[in-house]
Every structure is written in C-alpha cells, then in structure tokens.
Amino acid sequence: MNIHEYQAKEILRREGVPIPPGEIATTAAQVEQIARRLGGMVVVKAQVHAGGRGKAGGVKLAKTPAEAAEVGKNILGMQIKGLTVEKVLVTAAADIETEAYVGVIIDRASKRAVFMVSPAGGIDIEEVAATDPEKIMRLPVDPRYGLQPFEAMEMGFFLYKDVAKARAAARIMAQLYRAFIDSGASLAEINPLVTTPDGEVIAVDAKMVIDDNELDRRPDIAALRDESAEETSELQARRANLTFIKLDGDVGCIVNGAGLAMATMDLVKYYGGEPANFLDIGGSSSPEKVVNALRIITADSGVKAILFNIFGGITRTDDVANGIVTATKQSPLTVPLVIRLTGTNEEVALKILAENGFAATSDMDEAVQKVVALAKGGAK
C-alpha cells in the first residue's frame, strides 16, 4: 500500500526526524492560510501516488501567501499520470546546500532490509545506480540485531565529511529504520535529505510503501489508506477480496491464481489480443466472488469479450459455474463470454453450465484463441 508524502512525514516526525513544518490543504484558500501561518517561502506539493510529481508541475515554490494560493489553485485538480490531485502539502521551503538520498528497502537477494545511501540525492536513485554505482553505499541490516550505531555512522560519513553532519545523518537513519520496522514497510526513503547553510540536516521529501500483508496487524497504518487516490474498479475489487489491475486492452480475464492469471494475459497477447485486466479470484472461490468479478469487468466499457480460465485445485469449478449463472441472471451480459474450466468437480460444473446454455472447453489455448477472435469481431 502506498501512503502519501505527508503521511510518511508524520510517521518520521514522530520518530524524531527533523522535517520542515507543513500542513495539508484541499482548497486554494486553505493553501493561502497555511502559507501565512508558516511565513516566508513555501513549497506546494501535490499528494498523489505517482512518481515524477515535480516534472509534471505538481511541486511549486511560492514567495507570498497570495502566490501560494495561485499555485495551489493550479495544482489542485491537476492530473498526474491519470490521478487527480485532491490534496496538497504546504510546507516551509528549506534553504538547501546539498542533497543526499537515504532509503531502506527489502532486498530479495540478501533477504534482509538494506540501506541505500548516496550523496547524489534529489534525483531518481535508480538512475544513479545505473550511471554512478560507486556513489551508492549499500548496507544490509541483520534482522537479529537491527541497525547498529557504527553502521549508521559509516553511512553518515559516506554522506558527509563533517562529523556533526555525519552524526545528525546517522541519527536520522536510526529513526528511519525504526519507522520502517514499526510501520511494516517494504520501502522507506528520504529524498532529498538536505543540509542547510546553518549546518542542519533535514528531510525535505519522504516516501513509504507498506507491505500489504502487514495491514491486518497494524490498523493505525491501514487507516492511512486514501481510497480517493485509487482507481474505482481496483477499489471495488479490493473490497470484494479480489486482486485486480486494470489494463488498456479489450479482453476481460477472470482467472484463479496469480501465475495462471499472468500466463493467461500473456497467451491473449500471444494470439494477437490485448488483455483488459489482471484478475485473480484466488484459491477458495465462492460463487459470490465470481459475481463480483463479472460486475467489475463488465463495468469497463472497453471490454469486448470475457474469458474465464479456471484450473480447479482448491477452487471448486462448480462454485465458479454457479457464480457465472447467478451473475448473468442478475445482469445479462452484453459481450460474449468464453469459459475454460477444468479440475475439481468439473463434471458438476459442466452440467450446471450446459443446463443454463453455456458452453465450456477444457483447453486453455482453444479458449484464448476464441475469445481473442470474439473481441476483434465485437470491435468492428
């Protein structure tokens, strides 16, 4: 789960990370009030779950409260990578001398949380990794002991020669690590971590991604979810316990299992079609899940044909068949449906489908070819 910059900053601030003061606004008038309260130069920053906000014009400096209001008016409502900006963070502008990068991620190779720090901050760290790998220090943290002070100091000295600044950075890294662990994050980064002409070390931007598997046991973190920042169909799917990702094609796919769902999308492409979505109904599927899945897929007007690809292991294919019958009785389909179904209770499933006028095949390739042809026919 992504959280907004202002939410990540609140978490870090609670741990003691020095961060310039700021408040959230949803109207230009609020932006002006906050700018007046803060005094001096402010930065108005779009709060959306997308990278490259600056390049898209979603981050602007303002010298006066009036200018802040003007800037706020432009940014609020703006589209960044298809997402509408509903909120802006208005924050005191920092006097920046140098910019560094500090991040913690879960590293699959070392199977640990790994720090990545670089004196080349403020820009995309992946770019630095590709062009100047020697400018990045990596430090895997042993989960049994946590981040040790000497390790944080090594990273501090990698960023700054000055011992006071190195110490300040080390303290921030310890705080960042604690926030990472306590929030159940899979990524936490400060970019940039800046030094000011007064010699202060402060965090100017922050980002955190929370491991979805942590949310059940961290209700305070789960409450940070901003549903207005999510795609409507994806939100509906999540509420129905389905994993759904919208794509641009016209073949709607309903599959059980993530690997098979991906392989099905790939096969649609292989036979010349374009998948409209990724949708995994999961292992233990009830007829209700199928009803919800069909509702979400049919709401997408771009879908020209729908494919069910079900390999029943734990999933009972008769549950899926019942779901198809129920859903199509509730709201008849306006696009053609192709059903591929095999595995647990398939005889029962085929009987249910046949009695209700549905044909089904047991061959995945045959089904995909058929649905691709139907989607193309329907597009004419």
Q: Which of 262, 333, 335, 348 forms a contact with another protein (CB under 8 A)?
A: 262
Q: For another protein, what does the binding mask look like between residues 193 and 232, x meaning CB under 8 A?
A: ------------------xxxx-xx---------------
Site size toward another protein, by CB under 8 A = 51
Nearer to another protein by Cβ, of 23 and 211: the residue is: 211
With beta carbons less than 8 A apart as the criterion, state whether 174 and 167 touch. no
For the chain, the maximum distance between any two Cα atoms, rounded to a whole number of angstroms, is: 79
Residue 142 Cβ, how far from another protein at the closest point, in Å? 8
Nearer to another protein by Cβ, of 162 and 214: the residue is: 214
Catalytic residue flag (residue 189): yes
Residue 363 Cβ, how far from another protein at the closest point, in Å? 9
Say how far apart CA 255 and CA 265 lie, in whole Å.
10
CA Rg value for the chain: 25
Q: Which of 43, 94, 113, 375 forms a contact with another protein (CB under 8 A)?
A: 113
Residue 75 Cβ, how far from another protein at the closest point, in Å? 23
Say how far apart CA 240 and CA 217 lie, in whole Å.
20
233 makes contact with another protein (CB under 8 A): no
Ranges within 279-338 binding another protein (CB under 8 A): 280, 283, 311-315
Residue 3 Cβ, how far from another protein at the closest point, in Å? 15
Choose the catalytic residue: 5, 67, 189, 346. Answer: 189
* 3-class SS of residue 311: strand
Q: Are strands 42-46 and 88-92 parallel, antiparallel or unpaired?
A: antiparallel
131 makes contact with another protein (CB under 8 A): no
Ranges within 339-378 binding another protein (CB under 8 A): 342-344, 364-365
126 makes contact with another protein (CB under 8 A): yes
Catalytic residue flag (residue 154): no
Ranges within 19-58 binding another protein (CB under 8 A): none
247 makes contact with another protein (CB under 8 A): yes
Say how far apart CA 49 and CA 158 lie, in whole Å.
31
Q: Which of 55, 108, 161, 380 forms a contact with another protein (CB under 8 A)?
A: 108
DSSP H or E stretch at residue 236: helix 232-239
Say how far apart CA 3 and CA 6 lie, in whole Å.
8
Contacts 24+ apart (CB under 8 A), 77-85: 78/46, 80/46, 80/48, 80/50, 80/52, 80/53, 80/56, 81/48, 81/50, 81/52, 81/56, 83/48, 83/49, 83/50, 83/229, 84/48, 85/46, 85/47, 85/48, 85/58
Say how far apart CA 125 and CA 117 lie, in whole Å.
9
Q: 80: which 2 tokens?
A: 């960044």
Choose the catalytic residue: 6, 101, 160, 177. Answer: 101
Nearer to another protein by Cβ, of 91 and 186: the residue is: 186
Q: Which of 38, 139, 202, 267 forms a contact with another protein (CB under 8 A)?
A: 267
CA atoms within 13 A on the CB side of 312: 21
Known catalytic residues are 101, 189
Site residues (CB under 8 A) for another protein?
106, 108-109, 111-113, 126, 142-144, 181, 184, 186, 211-214, 216-217, 243, 245, 247, 255-263, 265-270, 275, 278, 280, 283, 311-315, 342-344, 364-365
